[in-house]
Amino acid sequence: MNDNLHSLRCFGCGARIAGTEARPDFRCSQCGDLFEVEYAGWGQRQGNDRPNPGALKWLWRERRCSSEALDQSGVWRFRELLPILDNFGNAVSLHEGNTPLYKLKSAAKTLGIDQLFAKHQGMNPTGSFKDTGMTAALSVARERGFSWVACASTGNTSAAMAAYAARAGLRSLVLIPEGKIAWGKLSQAMDYGSVTCQLKTDFDGCVRVLTQIVNEAPIYLLNSVNPYRLEGQKTPAFEIAEAFDWTVPDHLIVPGGNLANSSALGKGFRELQELGLVARMPKISVIQAEGANPLVRAFVENNGETMEPVEAQTRATAIRIGNPASWRKAAKVIRDTGGWCLDVSETEIAIAKAEIGVEGLGCEPASAVTLAGLKKLCAQGKVGSNESVVLLLTGHTLKDADYTINFHRGTLLTETESAGQVEALSALRRDAVAVDATPAAVLATLKGFAG
Ligand code: F0G
């Protein structure tokens, strides 16, 4: 490892350790908080010592035309800002990152915003943003000589870990809450060859069990408490800045579950600013589901200074998390950038997801909280019509096809949940219709949809 280049700094007490000194559960032995990868002196470097922003921007763009595997990764093409490996030959990549930034035309029109974009992280190799973090942390696991890696997951982390472990020739152990993850995600862990254990508990319970396991067995923990995950997950910030020609959007809106991703993106923008690549940071807002909203409650109570866990309940199973590990980091990002922390209801999530579908993009339910949250921010006057907004869509629509089908069949929401939104919901529903196998019958059906 380039341990002379990076160290791990405890987010709670500020203690610094070498990467090799981290405990298996990645908690600080002094205060129990999480670590952050730190590149000493980046902010303070002056003159010739400082990376040349123009040269970096040119190099990163140039790599997009390179045929080298490492350059074709949207994570490792920024490797100057993630010197976490001794040898970049150890990187395990599936050509992750370089995901599209789409204009959301209909939603922009409805909300009266000029510039509304979706950064679709669901277009990664395993269909979620987790790939960007997994390429980074799994590469560290390989370089450190581990043969087993493990995670507790609501489904996407496990899918990503299983795939990258398979590519690296490592074995992987997945702990998931029984019956509480989407089939698409479970099928991926199976297909990529993980040992998959469904535990009779929730995500938070799976985390507790796994923490004990890694303290007893030589298994490398790949949950987002692993600070190297966040190094990969910060790179979409670089892609967004690059797409905006090294300015930044006014707002970035991110779903909140275990709250690592918002932390990682905040770190990415902060490092760009420290290195002089961008002049400011976007306001970063985090949106949670109403039934899994511990950070929202923490902001209401005391501006996010302390947080009480909740018993989580939402159909957006990816973010069904009551005791998020990285809440302190996320709260700081929200406060430092002047963003907000909001929650949205099951009905609001369902409507927003269908609207993203109608744009021809689609996403999984947890990603749709971003659009639902944006609507609230606009209504509260916190996002202006002349401001630019990027929604971070975290997962592909095919991850949770059951949710989508239930929505279109009208079986997703309860009557109480639908009350007051019946018209909006039925305008978005497109159930499949059973039709006789004749052209006449199909054409007659079309007439019903004309206009
Ligand atoms: N969106 C999706 C699709 C996710 O899978 C997750 C988290 C999040 C948002 C929230 O991100 O945890 O960094 O705040 N999924 C994890 C998992 C917990 O196990 O796949 P976060």
Long-range contacts of 408-415 (CB under 8 A, 24+ apart): 408/432, 412/315, 412/350, 413/346, 413/347, 413/350
Q: Which atom of ligand 1 is nearest to the CA of 152?
A: 19
Query: Is pLDDT of 45 > 70?
Result: no
Q: Is the beta carbon of 260 within 6 A of some atom in ligand 1?
A: yes
pLDDT at 49: 65
pLDDT at 47: 61
Measured distance CA(114)–CA(169) in Å, rounded: 47
Q: Which two tokens stand for residue 412?
A: 């997703």
Measured distance CA(426)–CA(407) in Å, rounded: 10
pLDDT at 449: 81
For the chain, report the end-to-end CA distance as a whole number of angstroms.
62
- pLDDT bucket at 450, cuts 50 / 70 / 90: confident
Q: Which two tokens stand for residue 113?
A: 């915003």
Answer for the pair 106, 359: CB distance below 8 angstroms, yes or no: yes
Backbone dihedral angles phi then psi of residue 418, each to the nearest 5 degrees: -80, -20
Q: Cα of 288 to ligand 1 centre, how many Å?
A: 11
Q: Which two tokens stand for residue 128?
A: 């979620």
Q: What share of the chain has pLDDT > 70, as a percent?
A: 97
Q: Cα of 156 to ligand 1 centre, how many Å?
A: 7
pLDDT at 195: 98
Query: Is pLDDT of 240 > 90?
Result: yes
Nearest protein CA to atom 11 of ligand 1, as residue: 257
Pocket test for ligand 1, best of 258, 287, 367 (most atoms within 8 A of CB): 258
Nearest protein CA to atom 10 of ligand 1, as residue: 257
pLDDT at 4: 64
Q: Is the beta carbon of 395 within 6 A of some atom in ligand 1?
A: yes
Q: Which two tokens stand for residue 316?
A: 């957006």
Express each pLDDT in 166-224 by its tens digit. 999 999 999 999 999 999 999 999 999 999 999 999 999 999 999 999 999 999 999 99
Report, as an integer, the average pLDDT of 8-24.
Answer: 96
Q: Is the beta carbon of 357 within 6 A of some atom in ligand 1?
A: no
3-state SS assignment for residue 359: coil
Express each pLDDT in 66-87 by its tens digit. 999 999 999 999 999 998 999 9
Query: Is pLDDT of 276 > 70?
Result: yes
Q: Which atom of ligand 1 is nearest to the CA of 264?
A: 13
Q: Token match 């700094």: residue?
A: 9
Model's pTM, two decimal places? 0.97
Q: Which atom of ligand 1 is nearest to the CA of 122?
A: 3
Measured distance CA(410)–CA(429) in Å, rounded: 7
Query: Is pLDDT of 46 > 80?
Result: no
Answer for the pair 361, 393: CB distance below 8 angstroms, yes or no: yes
Q: Is the beta carbon of 364 within 6 A of some atom in ligand 1?
A: yes
Pocket test for ligand 1, best of 154, 315, 333 (most atoms within 8 A of CB): 154
Q: Cα of 139 to ligand 1 centre, how many Å?
A: 20
Express each pLDDT in 356-378 by its tens digit. 999 999 999 999 999 999 999 99
Report, as an integer, the average pLDDT of 105-109.
Answer: 97
Measured distance CA(75)–CA(346) in Å, rounded: 33
Q: Which atom of ligand 1 is nearest to the CA of 154?
A: 19
Express each pLDDT in 135-146 by its tens digit. 999 999 999 999
Strand order in the sheet with 35-38: 16-17, 7-10, 35-38
Planar angle of CA 280, 282, 286, nearest 5 degrees: 150
Answer for the pair 38, 28: CB distance below 8 angstroms, yes or no: no
Q: Is the beta carbon of 255 within 6 A of some atom in ligand 1?
A: yes
pLDDT at 1: 54
Mean pLDDT for the chain?
96
Answer for the pair 322, 312: CB distance below 8 angstroms, yes or no: yes
- pLDDT bucket at 2, cuts 50 / 70 / 90: low
Q: Is the beta carbon of 367 within 6 A of some atom in ligand 1?
A: yes
Planar angle of CA 251, 257, 262, nearest 5 degrees: 35
Express each pLDDT in 379-409 by its tens digit. 999 999 999 999 999 999 999 999 999 999 9
pLDDT at 205: 96
Q: Which two tokens stand for residue 213?
A: 């396991």
Report, as an integer, the average pLDDT of 151-176.
Answer: 98
Report, as an integer, the average pLDDT of 327-350.
Answer: 98
Q: Is the beta carbon of 157 within 6 A of some atom in ligand 1?
A: yes
Please tell me the least confidently modeled range out of 36-50, 67-81, 219-233, 239-253. Answer: 36-50
Query: Is pLDDT of 311 > 60?
Result: yes
Query: Is pLDDT of 298 > 90?
Result: yes
Measured distance CA(220)–CA(192) in Å, rounded: 18
pLDDT at 51: 77
Report, as an integer, the average pLDDT of 158-167.
Answer: 98
Measured distance CA(369)–CA(386) in Å, rounded: 22
